[in-house]
Structure 1
Amino acid sequence: MKKAKNELPTRLEAGGVCFQGQDWGDINVSRVRFPAGADATPLLEGLPNNLCQCPHWGTVVKGSIHVTYADGTEETVNAGEVYYWPPGHTVRVDEDYEAIEFSPSDQMGELMKHLEAKLKG
């Protein structure tokens, strides 16, 4: 099974943030894009500890992203690097960002529902 990244169905698009994704069995594959200045923290309010509870594995295609974990640890993931983010994180970007990401389908679905509700709020 394969698909061009730009052909993944759009699941959420608002304010320059775009999640395109599809479930393949128990795994969701997504193309994630954030514009410069985007901060996920306000959108995660209402989740446990106000942090994303979905684990993600991926690779940064463009730009870089700052990740803050529940314990306060921070790191930056740059284009060309791969990552794993356990449950309990938030992200922000200083420059336009794009990644290809893999997550458990059920948890990613819950995250998408939460983000959609916050954006409609």
Structure 2
Amino acid sequence: MTATTRKDTPVAIGGGGVELRTREIGGELSVAFVQLPQGADLRPAMKGLTDDLCQCPHWGYMLKGRLKMVTKDGEAVYEAGQAFYWPPGHAPVALEDCEYVDFSPTDDFTAVIDHIASQG
């Protein structure tokens, strides 16, 4: 069995109040601890991916704030206290300061993180 805490999980993306910490946990899955400040819009970081959107599925729980998830078919808002599933094809925009934890397939998530890191 494997466990980790936010503090013990390395930062994969950080800056401007955005913090994404991730660690492989359970073999083919990774856990991410994410903090986004109000106004953070990750759509520009997704440019160049299929449909200019994150192509990794995520299952998780909103700990704090409100987040708008933009897809090619529209938008949905998620808020603290909600469990979620985000299928491939999305980009987050923080409506308030947000914190959430999610679980994703490691290979898919690593590809997205590498793409975002190469943008800036």
TM-score (norm 2): 0.94
Distance in 1 (alpha carbons) for counterparts of 2:100 and 2:56:
16
Unpaired stretches in structure 1, ≥5 consecutive residues:
none
- Offset at residue 69 of structure 1 (A): 1.7
Partner of 2:81: helix, strand, or coil?
Answer: coil
The runs of at least 4 aligned residues of structure 1 exceeding 3 Å deviation read none
Distance in 2 (alpha carbons) for counterparts of 1:6 and 1:63:
20
1:33-91 CA distance string (max 9 Å, x none): 1111000111100111101101111000111100122222x111110101001001111
- Offset at residue 10 of structure 1 (A): 1.0
Alignment coverage as a number of residue pairs: 118
Match of 1:69 in 2: 71
Q: Percent identity?
A: 36
Pairwise mapping of residues 2-81 of structure 1 onto structure 2 (< 5 A)? Answer: 2-24=3-25, 25-72=27-74, 74-81=75-82
Matched, 1:95 2:96: yes
More helix by share: 1
Partner of 1:37: helix, strand, or coil?
Answer: coil
- Offset at residue 113 of structure 1 (A): 0.4
Distance in 2 (alpha carbons) for counterparts of 1:84 and 1:110:
19
